[in-house]
C-alpha cells in the first residue's frame, strides 16, 4: 500500500500558542484513516495546513510524491484534496444544485448530470432546486459531502462528519464513506464519535497538544495508555486508585 498523503514535522503556532509540533502523519492510498484527539489538540489546524487554509511555520506536506506545502486552497483542491468543515460551510443564497456546480470541474451538461448523481447518492436530490440556506443542519452535512465528492478528489478530508447530527444520519454518512472507500476513495476523518471512528477507520492517529502520540489499527490505539491519558487528562490507574479509595471510604 503506497502513502497518498503525508505530513513531515509540521509546526504551526498562533502567537504564543503552539497548535502543531513536529506533526508527522501518513495516510495510505485507498484507506479510511482517522485523526482523533482531545479538543485543541490540533486536528483542524492540521487539516487547515494540508488544505492551504493555514501556512505551516515549518515542515512539509506531500500528496503522493508531490510537495504541496503552503499552496493556495484552490490549487490544493485542483490537485485532488477535497475537505469538509467542522461547522458546515455551504453557500446559503445559492440553490443546492448551484452549490454542487461551484465545485464541479466538468462541462456544463456533464456537471449537472454528475451533480445530480451525487445528490442522489447522499439522498438529497429532492432538494436540488431549494436554497441551500433552507436545509437542516444534517442535510447541509450531506450537501457538503456531496459537493466535495462531485469533483472526484483523490482524497477526502472530513472534519467531524458525524458532529451534531442524529444517529440515523451518522449511519447514512458512514455507509456512504464505506461505499466510496470500497470503490477506491481515500479518506482522512477527524471525529469525536469513537463508535464512528473505530467502526470505520483502518488506521487511527491520535494527536495531543499538536503532536502525534499514537498511530495504528483502532483496536490497538483504543487501549494505548498514552491515548487514554490524552483523552482523560490524568493517569488512569491513579484515577482508578483514587476512585477505589473513595469507594472504600464511602463503604466504611
CA-nearest of 211, 227, 213 to 59 is 211
Of 9 and 236, CB closest to other proteins: 236
Minimum CB–partner distance for residue 169 and other proteins (Å): 6
Minimum CB–partner distance for residue 249 and other proteins (Å): 23
Q: How far is CA 13 from CA 21, 35, 57, 110, 172, in A?
A: 8, 20, 7, 43, 36
Of 33 and 206, CB closest to other proteins: 206
Minimum CB–partner distance for residue 10 and other proteins (Å): 19
Minimum CB–partner distance for residue 208 and other proteins (Å): 12
Rounded CA-CA distance 22/211 in Å is 6
CA-nearest of 188, 130, 177 to 155 is 188
Contact 217, 49 (CB under 8 A): no
Give the SS3 label for residue 182.
helix
Of 17 and 72, CB closest to other proteins: 72
Minimum CB–partner distance for residue 129 and other proteins (Å): 8
Contact 179, 172 (CB under 8 A): no
Of 3 and 106, CB closest to other proteins: 106
> Under the phi-then-psi rule, with left for phi > 0, alpha for psi from -120 to 50, and beta for the rest, what region is 205?
beta
Contact 123, 172 (CB under 8 A): yes
Of 108 and 183, CB closest to other proteins: 108
Of 127 and 187, CB closest to other proteins: 127
Minimum CB–partner distance for residue 152 and other proteins (Å): 12
Amino acid at each position: 500500500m503506497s502513502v497518498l498523503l503525508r505530513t513531515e514535522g509540521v509546526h504551526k503556532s498562533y502567537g504564543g500558542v503552539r497548535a502543531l509540533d513536529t506533526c508527522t502523519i501518513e495516510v495510505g492510498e485507498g484507506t479510511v484513516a482517522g485523526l482523533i484527539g482531545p479538543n485543541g489538540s490540533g486536528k483542524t489546524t492540521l487539516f487547515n495546513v494540508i488544505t492551504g487554509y493555514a501556512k505551516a511555520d515549518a515542515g512539509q506536506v506531500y500528496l503522493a510524491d508531490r510537495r504541496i506545502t503552503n499552496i493556495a486552497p484552490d490549487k490544493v483542491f485542483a490537485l485532488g484534496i477535497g475537505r469538509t468543515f467542522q461547522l458546515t460551510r455551504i453557500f446559503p443564497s445559492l440553490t443546492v444544485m448551484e452549490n454542487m456546480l461551484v465545485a464541479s470541474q466538468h462541462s456544463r451538461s456533464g456537471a449537472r448530470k454528475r451533480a445530480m448523481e451525487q445528490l442522489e447518492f447522499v439522498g438529497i436530490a429532492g432538494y436540488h432546486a431549494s436554497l441551500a440556506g433552507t436545509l437542516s443542519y444534517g442535510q447541509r452535512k450531506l450537501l457538503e459531502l456531496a459537493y466535495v465528492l462531485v469533483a472526484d478528489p483523490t482524497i477526502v478530508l472530513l472534519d467531524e462528519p458525524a458532529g451534531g447530527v442524529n444517529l440515523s444520519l451518522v449511519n447514512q454518512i458512514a455507509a456512504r464513506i464505506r461505499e466510496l472507500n470500497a470503490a477506491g476513495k481515500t479518506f482522512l476523518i477527524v471525529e469525536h464519535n469513537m463508535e464512528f471512528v473505530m467502526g470505520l477507520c483502518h488506521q487511527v492517529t491520535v494527536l495531543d497538544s499538536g503532536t502525534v502520540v499514537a498511530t495504528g489499527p483502532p483496536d490497538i490505539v483504543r487501549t494505548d495508555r498514552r491515548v487514554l491519558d490524552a483523552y482523560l487528562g490524568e493517569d488512569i490507574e491513579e484515577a482508578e486508585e483514587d476512585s477505589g479509595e473513595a469507594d472504600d471510604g464511602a463503604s466504611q
